């Protein structure tokens, strides 16, 4: 995975919820053009942050239930943005599994800056079997990085 859009997963309870952190830095490439002199974090990247947290939650949760490593791919998203995100903001994300089936899952994600809700989304994932060693190695590396120090809740 080329772009890590969450810095870490702080807590995870399988098939229930995960919380994560994203620190917004002025050095992020997106601020060069979005917008010079008045930097605003792009909503599309915020959606990707939410999708990465929800996908990681599902993949870690379903790993023990499947005969193969599940790969969760964004299928549909319904998002709402409530405030702008700026450099220097530390965001807390919470993803909750609403439902999951053999081939798809629904996750609700809320993004907060302190106590203020800045965005929320309902994300539908398609759960795939992908037999590609390079892709699997990349995905495993992503999960290893973002789950260092994760508190697994029983």
Is the distance from CB of 16 to CB of 60 less than 8 angstroms? no
Contact 88, 24 (CB under 8 A): yes
Residues annotated catalytic, as ranges: 34
CA distance 31 to 38: 9
């Amino acid at each position: 995975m080329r772009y890590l859009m969450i810095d870490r997963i702080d807590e995870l309870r399988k098939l229930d919820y995960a919380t994560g952190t994203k620190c917004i830095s002025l050095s992020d490439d997106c601020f060069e053009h979005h917008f010079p002199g008045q930097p605003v974090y792009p909503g599309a990247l915020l959606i990707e942050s939410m999708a990465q947290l929800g996908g990681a939650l599902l993949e870690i949760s379903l790993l023990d239930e499947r005969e193969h490593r599940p790969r969760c791919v964004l299928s549909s998203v319904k998002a709402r943005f409530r405030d702008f995100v700026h450099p220097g903001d530390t965001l807390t994300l919470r993803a909750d599994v609403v439902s999951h089936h053999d081939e798809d899952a629904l996750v609700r994600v809320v993004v907060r800056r302190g106590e203020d809700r800045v965005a929320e989304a309902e994300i539908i994932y398609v759960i795939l079997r992908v037999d590609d060693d390079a892709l699997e190695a990349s995905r495993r590396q992503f999960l290893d990085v973002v789950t260092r120090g994760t508190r697994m809740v029983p």
